[in-house]
Amino acid sequence: AVLTAGGCVPVNPVGGGGSLSPVESPSSFDIPLPIPPLAPSTVVDGVRVFSLEAQEGTSEIVPGVSTPTWGFNGDVLGPTLRATRGERVAVEVTNSIDEPTTVHWHGMHLPPDMDGGPHQMVEPGDTWRPTWQIDQPAATLWYHPHPHGRTEEHVYRGLAGMFLLDDDRASGLPDDYGVDDVPVIVQDKRLDDDGRLVLDSDGNEVGLLGSTIVTNGVAGAVHEVTTELVRLRLLNGSTARVYDFAFEDDRPFTHVGTDGGLLPTPYETDHVRLSPGERAEIVVSLAPGSETMLVSRAPDLGGVVAPFAVGANDEFPVLRLSAAPELAAAAPVPVAFEPLADDTVDADDAAVTRRFAIQDRSINGRTMDMDRIDETVRVGDTEIWEVTNLDLFPHNWHVHDVQFQVLDVEGDPPGPELGGRKDTVYLEPRRTYRLAMRFEDFADPDTPYMAHCHLLLHEDQGLMAQFVVTDDGRAGRVATTHHDH
Ligand code: C2O
Ligand code: CU
């Protein structure tokens, strides 16, 4: 078997089952970090048009080993799409793999029928043409498939890429793509003796914890640093693993951006925890001729989590940074960014509070039903969503369409790492997160957006809810395009 599906995992909230699979680190980090190419685009009648084709290929995740993978416009991962606030974009999404898939624009504010969730299926051989206007601040977003029940496998095989948004707020941050402004997609894989991808969560409650860590599709990479400061756009593109990124020498760095944009006030730290789907933009400085290793340490997952959720390693290397003998000068990281109205959500305006209690694979006792609308929102409303992880193992929470503000965690103000725009938040066991979000536009009573756990095994097993944004609070009937169930 090329790929073993995770299947249904028995729930064992305290013991976890599953082996503690250790990460096996390459003996050297000498492969130049592949930089996903910027996707070409053409502007037709004022619309910036990109093309993405999901296809099968072969890549070298581990040097010298050929692995069948899937990619967009290539063998693995996909090009970086890039657009500016205010622009109208369109993407021609062609499916050249032999099963239905979708492409979801994770973090994007856009109409629900353009969202690329499980209701916008693209059949093999078909092309889907979503179009929308970019109406949100500069941010590091990403795209990936979202076919219901199949997302874990499609992402794991390699279908994922970044979608960078720019705006005219001068950030003063390093911005030379691939040079001092570097996308880093971090994933974990497991290869069998023939170099094929294995997707086997081994009875592990959270999903697959792969033994090979890859950055932009390869294990053992190095990025050659040529400037005094380098900005890393970190994306946790793993299906289950939670990382706590740091540098091996504990050097401080500046955390400048969260999922949905720049932090109003960057802050200095020495680690940042990212659960699947989350992003962090960080800026780190290297001395001329020096090097350091980006590592991940066993994250503090909230105190009561059995070790199965982490794996056996205390620390493992992720990406080596190696500085040239002479480095180009860089401006210091700004102490604050010019505030935008979008930076915060005014929770005093909240019209509605909804509660989402997550347990095992259910939300409020229900698992995902493609034909059921779980929540009906009124357009223009600000809402507070109270999300509780009732389990003793990790989940996280991702909401389509909006960026939210974390108001508090179990009643306490969130740490600075949660101080900016977020679309995905890690849920520590047995804690309640209060999130504020505003549903500005795009009323459509028939086409739901998703809210779900981004541990992709959980998502596939039904830890997902559907909500619609409406003019009058009345949901319609679920509309699905190219839907084959
Ligand atoms: Cu990154 Cu609903 O997904
Ligand atoms: Cu989960």
- Does pLDDT of 181 surpass 50? yes
| Position 279 pLDDT exceeds 60 | yes
pLDDT band at 349 (very low <50, low <70, confident <90, very high): confident
Give the C-alpha separation, 182 to 200, whole Å: 31
CB 93 within 8 A of CB 104: no
Average pLDDT over residues 466-470: 98
How far apart are the C-alpha atoms of 261 and 402, rounded to whole Å? 12
Distance separating alpha carbons of residues 82 and 38, to the nearest angstrom = 7
Given this model, what pLDDT does residue 310 score? 66
Dist. CA 237–CA 141, nearest whole Å = 11
- Residues touching ligand 1 (Cβ under 6 Å) are 104, 106, 144, 146, 277, 398, 400, 450, 452, 454
What is the second-level CATH architecture of the domain 181-328? Sandwich (2.60)
Asked whether residue 106 carries a pLDDT value surpassing 50, the answer given is yes
Q: How far apart are CA 460 and CA 466, in angstroms?
A: 14
pLDDT above 50 for 132: yes
Which residues touch 162 (CB under 8 Å, ≥6 apart)? Answer: 36, 80, 81, 140, 141, 142, 143, 183, 185, 233, 235
Task: Find the 19 Cα to ligand 1 centroid distance in Å.
Answer: 28
Q: Supply angle C-alpha 240, 245, 250, rounded to 5.
A: 155
Mean pLDDT confidence for 353-379 = 97
Residue nearest to atom 1 of ligand 1 (CA): 106
Residue type, 431: R
Q: So what's the pLDDT on residue 20?
A: 65
**Domain-by-domain residue ranges, the chain?**
181-328
Q: Tell how far the Cα of 98 is from the centroid of ligand 1, in angstroms.
A: 22
Q: Which helix (H) or strand (E) holds 153?
A: helix 151-156
Structure tokens at 66: 């050929």
Which atom in ligand 1 lies closest to the alpha carbon of residue 106? 1
Minimal-distance CA residue to ligand 1 atom 3: 106
Summarize the confidence of residues 442-463 as an average pLDDT: 98
Segment 1-36, tens digit of pLDDT:
334 333 333 333 333 444 567 899 999 999 999 999
* Residue 245 bridge partners (DSSP): 272, 296
Would you say residue 292 has pLDDT above 50?
Answer: yes
pLDDT > 70? residue 485: no
pLDDT at 302: 75
CB atoms < 10 A from the CB of 351, how many? 12
pLDDT of residue 300: 77
pLDDT the model gives residue 5: 37
Q: Which of 9-23, 59-73, 90-104 has the lowest mean pLDDT?
A: 9-23
More confident residue, 144 or 346: 144
pLDDT above 90 coverage of the chain, percent: 85
| Residue 322 pLDDT greater than 50, yes or no | yes
pLDDT band at 303 (very low <50, low <70, confident <90, very high): low
Q: Determine contact, residues 394/206, Cβ cutoff 8 Å.
A: yes
| 395 has pLDDT over 90 | yes
- Determine the average pLDDT of the residues in 355-360: 97
